[in-house]
Structure formats: structure tokens, C-alpha cells
């Protein structure tokens, strides 16, 4: 979604965009034009089927070679490379050196940050991932953080140079997220009009910490307060998604947190208190009430109120790190 929206927006602004992605279906054509100025190239790397993320590192080399071959054959002369996620960043570093063009990289998630939020029964990020992320951060000309928190994480956990960091909050689709009628939304969901409602929106997996929301709501409700309805909006995701969903249902049995259920995401409006739980702190952006009609994409998703670190403070931190480098095994 990130890449597609970026490609559409840049093409609308007159920038030619070519996106390279791994071919997951043998029947997919090699080249697809999404719209004038925006094309997608499907590169063969590994089997023509979906594969687990854990197997993808084995095919990064083949993907990179296929991308370079296509660029040479099409006589394409890119002016900048943008990669998203650590696997694409790995390929991007090689392409940057081969083509002699700048590399900008954004991370969907960061392995070391995920490890700070994971439960004790979850497998930590692989050493291959975290070391590759560190190398991508070091060799990118620009690293794009989604929030001020991620900006700090890149400094603290990956030794990023502040002069190569920038913050660009994600946007929001106002064709979907728009003001609506509260009573109509509650009726569509079969909820009483005045029952307290708390909303959790996200994929159902342990990293999203929906269990923290259930536990916290049960603890925070006064003993004489009526039960609140906690709605979990989103489906099971990942290898343990169904197991996590069953775990959440078990947590709600006998809990004052009220009911919980997995619902399909819908454009039907549903105004409520929205929670963003975590075991450490939110890594991604926090949705705010910026739903101005008529704007398809824009800064409708903002970061938390914490101020972005100033360039001066970031440079001071960088000088301290140079004087006292971390020991690494």
C-alpha cells in the first residue's frame, strides 16, 4: 500500500516511477502499466508463488540481478532509488553501488524495536535482519522515519547519522476515513447507542498488543461502571494469527472489558475512543481526528505530540556517540 500510493502520487506530479517487485504468480506479465508514468516490473526470484518472509533472504541476490538486467535492457536511467523494508533495502544498497545513484530507504518495522515490544514467548528478530538493517541505515543517502519516535529509534538502536534522517508521516485516504453518523454506525454493528465503546484497529497478531488493551480496560473500569464494549477491528495475521485471536477471545471471558470480536474493516463510520496499546511505546503513527472532506491523501495521520528532536540535539548526540562508541561483539 505504501509503495502504490507513493507511485500514484509521484506519477500525478509528473515523476516517472518504475516499481520492482518479486513475481509471485507465473501468469503475471513482466511489465504492467498502472497509469501513465507509473509501471510495475515483476522480477523472477525464487518460485512463482507466495513464500514465507523467512525464506525471502535466500532470493534477494536473484531479485537484485534480475532488476539490474531489466534496467540495462530497458536503458532505464533512474535518478534515485527508494526501497521499503529491510529486504528491499538490502537489494537497494547493491543497486545504488551498481548504478551510482542515491538511495532513500524507509522501514516498515525495525527488528531491534520489535524485540523491545515482543512477548517472552515470541521468537526474536534474526541476526541477519538486524545487521542488514544496520548496514542499510549506514549506506543509505537518506533514511525516512514515519514518526519522531522512529527517528529516535534509528539514532539509538542503529547508529544513524542525523543529517541523513528525515521524518515523513504517512497519509490517510479520506475517501474511506470520513466523518459519519454515530447512531447509524452503532446500529450497523448492533450496539446500544450509549454503551461506552473502545476501538482497537489493526491486524490481530501479538506485536499489536490487543491483549494489553483488553487487560488495561478491565483494570481501568471502575467497579460500579457499566461494562464497555471493546471492538477489535481486523483479521488474524501471520503464522500465529488465529492462535492469537483465540487467545484474545479467552481473555474476554468473564472480563469487565465486555465483548471482543474480529470484524472486517468497513467504510461504515464508527466513532469511539481509539486505543493504541503497546508493550513499550507506539512505533507507528497515531491516527488523529483530521478527516477533512475533499482530501484523498494528506497529513491526516499525525505522530504523537512529542516534538521531533532538533537537528542541534541530534548532532550533540552524534558527537557523544563518537566520543564514547558502543562496544560490539
Whether residue 118 has pLDDT greater than 80: yes
Please state the φ and ψ torsions of residue 43, each to the nearest 5 degrees: -100, 130
Task: Count Cβ atoms below 10 Å from residue 101 Cβ, excluding itself.
Answer: 14
- Tell me: the pLDDT tens digits for 292-328? 333 344 333 333 334 444 554 555 555 555 555 544 4
CATH number of 2-167: 3.40.50.2000
- Tell me: the pLDDT tens digits for 65-75? 999 999 999 99
Lowest mean pLDDT among 21-25, 93-97, 211-215: 211-215
Whether residue 131 has pLDDT greater than 80: yes
Q: How far apart are CA 212 and CA 209, in angstroms?
A: 5
pTM as predicted: 0.73
> Domain residues of the chain, as ranges?
2-167, 182-302
Whether residue 257 has pLDDT greater than 90: no
Amino acid at each position: 500500500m505504501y509503495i502504490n500510493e507513493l507511485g500514484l502520487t509521484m506519477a500525478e506530479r509528473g515523476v516517472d516511477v518504475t516499481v520492482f517487485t518479486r513475481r509471485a504468480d507465473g501468469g503475471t506479465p513482466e511489465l504492467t502499466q498502472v497509469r501513465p508514468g507509473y509501471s510495475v516490473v515483476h522480477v523472477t526470484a525464487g518460485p512463482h508463488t507466495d513464500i514465507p518472509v523467512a525464506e525471502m533472504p535466500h532470493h534477494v541476490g536473484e531479485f537484485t540481478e534480475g532488476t539490474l538486467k531489466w534496467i540495462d535492457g530497458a536503458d532505464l536511467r533512474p535518478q534515485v532509488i527508494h526501497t521499503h523494508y529491510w529486504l528491499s533495502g538490502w537489494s537497494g544498497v547493491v543497486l545504488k553501488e551498481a548504478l551510482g545513484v542515491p538511495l532513500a530507504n524507509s522501514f516498515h518495522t525495525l527488528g531491534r524495536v520489535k524485540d523491545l515490544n515482543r512477548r517472552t514467548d515470541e521468537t526474536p528478530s534474526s541476526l541477519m535482519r538486524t545487521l542488514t538493517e544496520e548496514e542499510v541505515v549506514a549506506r543509505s543517502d537518506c533514511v525516512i522515519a514515519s514518526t519522531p519516535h522512529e527517528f529516535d529509534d534509528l539514532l539509538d538502536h542503529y547508529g544513524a547519522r542525523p543529517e541523513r534522517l528525515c521524518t515523513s508521516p504517512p497519509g490517510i485516504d479520506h475517501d474511506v476515513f470520513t466523518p459519519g453518523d454515530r447512531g447509524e454506525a452503532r446500529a450497523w454493528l448492533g450496539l446500544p447507542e450509549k454503551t461506552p465503546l473502545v476501538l482497537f484497529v489493526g491486524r490481530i497478531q501479538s506485536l499489536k498488543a490487543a491483549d494489553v488493551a483488553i487487560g488495561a480496560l478491565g483494570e481501568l473500569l471502575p467497579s460500579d461502571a457499566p461494562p464497555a464494549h471493546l471492538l477489535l477491528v481486523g483479521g488474524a495475521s501471520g503464522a500465529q494469527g488465529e492462535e492469537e485471536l483465540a487467545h484474545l477471545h479467552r481473555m474476554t471471558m468473564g472480563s469487565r472489558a465486555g465483548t471482543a470480536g474480529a470484524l472486517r474493516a468497513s467504510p461504515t463510520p464508527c466513532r469511539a475512543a481509539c486505543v493504541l496499546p503497546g508493550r513499550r511505546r507506539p512505533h507507528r503513527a497515531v491516527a488523529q481526528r483530521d478527516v477533512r472532506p475533499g482530501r484523498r491523501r494528506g497529513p491526516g495521520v499525525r505522530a504523537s505530540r512529542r516534538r521531533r528532536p532538533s537537528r542541534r540535539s541530534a548532532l550533540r548526540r552524534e558527537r557523544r556517540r563518537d566520543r564514547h562508541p558502543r562496544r560490539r561483539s
